[in-house]
Amino acid sequence: MAGGSIPSTPLLKDELDIVIPTIRNLDFLEMWRPFFQQYHLIIVQDGDPSRTIKVPEGFDYELYNRNDINRILGPKASCISFKDSACRCFGYMVSKKKYIFTIDDDCFVAKDPSGKEINALEQHIKNLLSPSSPFFFNTLYDPYREGADFVRGYPFSLREGAPTAVSHGLWLNIPDYDAPTQLVKPLERNTRYVDAVLTIPKGTLFPMCGMNLAFNRELIGPAMYFGLMGDGQPIGRYDDMWAGWCTKVICDHLGLGVKTGLPYIWHSKASNPFVNLRKEYNGIYWQEEIIPFFQTAVLPKECTSVQKCYLELSKQVKAKLSKVDPYFDKLADAMVTWIEAWDELNPSGSAAAAVNGSAKK
């Protein structure tokens, strides 16, 4: 049975890192100060490393630019994208914490319908610390939320749920549309506050947006590779999508849960749809092949850790998607490089441990 209300959410300030990719500035942190100041930030500076990114006073942070990435990873740095926010996954790799929250630098604090400012980080923590329910859909959404529960007909044997690996938040104001949709509806704003968190059922894929995302790094970290995007690559704006499809397949295989819904952040900047179209162009066609690939991907029973699952996926990408474009061949290699780099920076211990699937309350 879903538990009673949690009186207060643990801060987890020593167990969570906030990863922020940036190429511009970090002014947005001022608005987040009341909610973020107690946490350690990992800033991944994209673009020109000679530029100085000013971090507002009072934040505890580590900052990595391209030179740092090259220095730390050596030749393996080739798997980290340049000139694309995909570079943020370097932050996941160097973190030593159990949880990651990542947010874009054009995302601000949103208000709920009562006018209250939303502590997005707190909601993500709530989502991650309570189980998911991927095996059977609960019509009242997250049964672990205060004021909700499992409905009549929900099998009791499934009410322990699965450990939550990912918490996917949403955005008010500028919605995360692709370029064609942006071009057709340039003025559409997301004004609908949907007061729900729900688990995406096992076997169902979704478009994972990296703008407002949190995950349990120990459970799923190695799957959060944001691919080869940006400079020198034929595709952009599919970094988080790629990570999301890999992550979901692996979560489904390992019995982990993915939640979506609250919290909302306020997305302030609409990127240029024409620029986006050029970046997404190949992706729009390729995803028609990529989606069936992920929908039919089967991981063998022997894949009992995230790394093993991920390496197996990279083999399947090479075998089945290379014919779509040679890019996937490169991507499959980069996936392997990523895991090698991950394991090097995170030698054995909890990050590489096999998941035993027990529900964490």
Partner 1 sequence: MSLDIDGSEVDVVIAALHPNLTTFLEEWRPILSRYHLIILKDPDMKEELQIPSGFDHQVYTKVDMEKVAGQTSINFSGHSSRYFGYLISCKKYIISIDDDCLPARDDQGFLVDAVAQHVTNLSTPATPFFFNTLYDPYRKGADFVRGYPFSLRNGVECVMSCGLWLNIADYDAPTQAVKPDERNLRYVDAVLTVPVRSMMPVSGINVAFRRDIVGPAFFPALRLAGEGKCRWETMEDIWCGMCAKLVCDHLGLGVKSGLPYVWRGHGVDGGDALESLKKEWEGVKLMEHVVPFFQSVRLPRTAVTAEDCVIKIAGMVREQLGPLDLVFKHAADAMEAWVKLWKAAAPQSQINS
Which stretches of the chain bind partner 1, using CB under 8 A?
1, 113, 135-141, 147-158, 168, 170, 175-178, 181, 185, 188-196, 198, 200-209, 237-238, 240-241, 244, 260, 280, 284, 287-288, 291
Nearest to partner 1 of 29, 261 (CB atom): 261
Give me the sign of the Cα torsion angle 173, 176, 177, 182: positive
Minimum CB separation from partner 1 for residue 150, in Å?
Answer: 7
Nearest to partner 1 of 36, 144 (CB atom): 144
Nearest to partner 1 of 74, 207 (CB atom): 207
Minimum CB separation from partner 1 for residue 261, in Å?
Answer: 8
Minimum CB separation from partner 1 for residue 183, in Å?
Answer: 12
Minimum CB separation from partner 1 for residue 43, in Å?
Answer: 24
Nearest to partner 1 of 315, 361 (CB atom): 361
Minimum CB separation from partner 1 for residue 287, in Å?
Answer: 5
**End-to-end alpha-carbon separation of the chain, Å?**
12
Minimum CB separation from partner 1 for residue 310, in Å?
Answer: 20
Cα torsion through 112, 118, 122, 127, rounded to 10: 30
Nearest to partner 1 of 112, 343 (CB atom): 112
Minimum CB separation from partner 1 for residue 215, in Å?
Answer: 15
Minimum CB separation from partner 1 for residue 211, in Å?
Answer: 10
Nearest to partner 1 of 59, 238 (CB atom): 238
Nearest to partner 1 of 97, 279 (CB atom): 279
Nearest to partner 1 of 60, 188 (CB atom): 188
